[in-house]
């Protein structure tokens, strides 16, 4: 050591016992010295457990409101997935759902765009929505959705609640911008936070420690969690958003856990279903037809009736009672998929507990009368002639059966086979047809004959 090193501050402190040597290069401050330097409160000001004022609500009122929220959530998810079944949302190259599709879904569901994003996230968390399609570039309902639709309301809600609790994404971040100014899309990988399930569970567990009907306001709950886990306080920023999501689902109401919410914490999906069962109405198998061409469902519908109404009517509003609207376009949609006017009349008569108004019968008959007057189809080839007798002979000739000909109009036969195949069948049957181009000109050039590419030969 140099002379300067011999008189360094560290050496002087070592000589006086104010530092302790660890090895040749490192020293440390003894614990006693450190505590003395920190003064009378070496651990800082005392952190007294918060004693927030409890929120008190009547438990039955909490469960009634929770059941309403649960019913709304199940219905909205069903509507969302039915829309995506008909028209899937595109998968962005960076992952997630395009804003264009989110706007479309919000418009068709009659909700705000943030609500549509929340429903997409909830359906994904519950395993009812995922990437699929021939090229895996679409957001589609999963196979689990088919089974989910057949479950009773309590079980369907429990799937949503359990999926939310275990989800590793933060739906509240949809629309927020990153440091580069880019907004996060629904179902984007940017929303993944692996700490989310633990934070949700810790928040709900804190509320569950209070008696039934008691809870905390969001700010008070965050303060309590900060006191319990001071080293993780920086991770609690999502808690208010999580509480809002839990309220949307019916897990809690005004800071108080519902019976379904308590069941979710203690028994998972099965416990959630048990806690909510009995609070939700039984599905109904009928509607109430109104003179204004609306159909009112006085409660959640059985799956079969809901499927049929999705074809013949459109949802106008939902909630405790769903209002469907029968219109010219919805009747036409039913006719397009094979319903007849009599099928529609029979369905409305069977499904409605009220008499079917004349206006609805008139609408069905008017649309059916116009439906199908224009026909669109696809053919591969045709046979035409001004000699109708010759065409009749060709059509009745057994030897031309392989051509699969049928009469489309006077003087015109059509086939699902290619033109060269029909020409071959007719010629083999002894007829002398001529091929023609789309403009009607006779084809005289012989067909090209196939050839191999061959190998290049070089001389020696």
C-alpha separations of 97 from 143, 149, 171, 308, 325 in Å: 20, 24, 13, 29, 29
C-alpha separations of 107 from 102, 170, 172 in Å: 9, 23, 20
Residue length of the chain? 460
Whose structure tokens read 């290069």? 25
Ramachandran angles phi, psi of 116, nearest 5°: -60, -40
| DSSP run (H or E) holding 334 | helix 328-336
Take residue 338 and report the two structure tokens written for it.
């094979």
Q: How far apart are CA 441 and CA 143, in angstroms?
A: 53
70-87 residue pLDDT tens = 999 999 999 999 999 989
The predicted model scores a pTM of 0.72
Task: Tell which residue, 287, 261, 120, has the closest CA to residue 188.
Answer: 120
CB of 89 closer than 8 Å to CB of 138:
yes
Q: How far apart are CA 225 and CA 202, in angstroms?
A: 8
Q: How far apart are CA 82 and CA 307, in angstroms?
A: 9
CB of 213 closer than 8 Å to CB of 62:
yes
Whose structure tokens read 């429903």? 119
CB of 310 closer than 8 Å to CB of 303:
no
**What pLDDT is stored for residue 364 in this prediction?**
97
Along the 460 residues of the chain, how does pLDDT read in single tens digits? 333 456 788 888 888 888 999 988 889 999 888 888 888 776 667 777 888 899 999 999 999 999 999 999 999 999 999 999 989 999 998 889 999 999 999 999 989 999 999 999 999 999 999 998 888 889 999 999 999 998 999 999 999 999 999 999 999 999 998 888 888 999 999 999 999 999 999 999 999 999 999 999 999 999 999 998 888 888 999 999 999 999 999 999 999 999 999 999 999 999 999 999 999 988 899 999 999 999 999 988 998 899 899 899 998 887 668 899 999 999 999 999 999 999 999 999 999 999 999 999 999 999 999 998 887 888 899 999 999 999 999 999 999 999 999 999 899 999 999 999 999 999 999 999 999 988 888 776 555 555 555 555 555 4
DSSP 174-214: TT-B-TTSPBPPTT-GGGB-TTHHHHHHHHHHHHHTSPTTE
Distant-in-sequence, close-in-space partners of 204: CB < 8 Å, separation ≥ 6: 165, 246, 251, 252, 257, 261, 264, 265
Q: Are strands 252-253 and 214-215 parallel, antiparallel or unpaired?
A: unpaired
Task: Tell which residue, 215, 41, 189, 187, has the closest CA to residue 117.
Answer: 187
């Amino acid at each position: 050591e140099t002379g300067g090193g011999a008189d360094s501050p560290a050496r002087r402190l070592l000589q006086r016992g104010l530092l302790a040597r660890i090895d040749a290069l490192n020293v440390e401050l003894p614990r006693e010295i450190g505590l003395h330097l920190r003064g009378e409160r070496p651990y800082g000001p005392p952190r007294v457990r918060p004693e927030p004022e409890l929120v008190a609500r009547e438990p039955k009122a909490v469960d009634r409101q929770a059941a309403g929220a649960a019913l709304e959530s199940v219905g909205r998810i069903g509507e969302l997935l039915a829309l995506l079944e008909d028209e899937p949302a595109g998968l962005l190259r960076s992952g997630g759902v395009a804003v264009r599709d989110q706007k479309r879904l919000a418009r068709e569901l009659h909700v705000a765009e943030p609500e549509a994003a929340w429903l997409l996230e909830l359906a994904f968390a519950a395993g009812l929505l995922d990437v699929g399609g021939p090229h895996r570039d679409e957001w589609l309902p999963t196979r689990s959705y088919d089974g989910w639709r057949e479950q009773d309301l309590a079980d369907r809600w429990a799937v949503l609640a359990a999926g939310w609790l275990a989800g590793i994404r933060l739906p509240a971040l949809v629309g927020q911008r990153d440091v580069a100014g880019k907004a996060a899309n629904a179902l984007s990988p940017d929303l993944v936070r692996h700490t989310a399930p633990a934070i949700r569970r810790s928040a709900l567990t804190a509320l569950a420690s209070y008696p039934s009907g008691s809870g905390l306001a969001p700010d008070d709950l965050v303060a309590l969690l900060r006191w319990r886990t001071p080293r993780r306080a920086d991770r609690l920023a999502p808690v208010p958003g999580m509480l809002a999501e839990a309220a949307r689902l019916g897990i809690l109401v005004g800071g108080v856990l519902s019976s379904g919410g308590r069941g979710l914490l203690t028994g998972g999906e099965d416990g959630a279903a048990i806690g909510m069962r009995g609070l939700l109405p039984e599905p109904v198998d009928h509607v109430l037809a109104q003179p204004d061409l609306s159909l009112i469902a006085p409660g959640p519908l059985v799956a079969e009736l809901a499927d049929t109404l999705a074809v013949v009517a459109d949802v106008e509003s939902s909630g405790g009672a769903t209002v469907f609207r029968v219109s010219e376009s919805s009747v036409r949609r039913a006719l397009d998929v094979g319903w007849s006017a009599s099928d529609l009349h029979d369905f409305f008569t069977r499904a409605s507990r009220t008499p079917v108004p004349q206006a609805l019968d008139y609408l069905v008959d008017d649309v059916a009368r116009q439906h199908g007057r224009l026909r669109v189809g696809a053919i591969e080839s045709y046979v035409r002639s001004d000699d109708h007798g010759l065409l009749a002979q060709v059509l009745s000739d057994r030897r031309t059966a392989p051509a699969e000909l049928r009469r489309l109009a006077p003087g015109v036969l059509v086939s699902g086979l290619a033109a060269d195949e029909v020409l071959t069948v007719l010629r083999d049957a002894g007829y002398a047809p001529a091929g023609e181009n789309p403009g009607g000109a006779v084809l005289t050039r012989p067909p090209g004959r196939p050839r191999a590419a061959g190998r290049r030969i070089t001389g020696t």
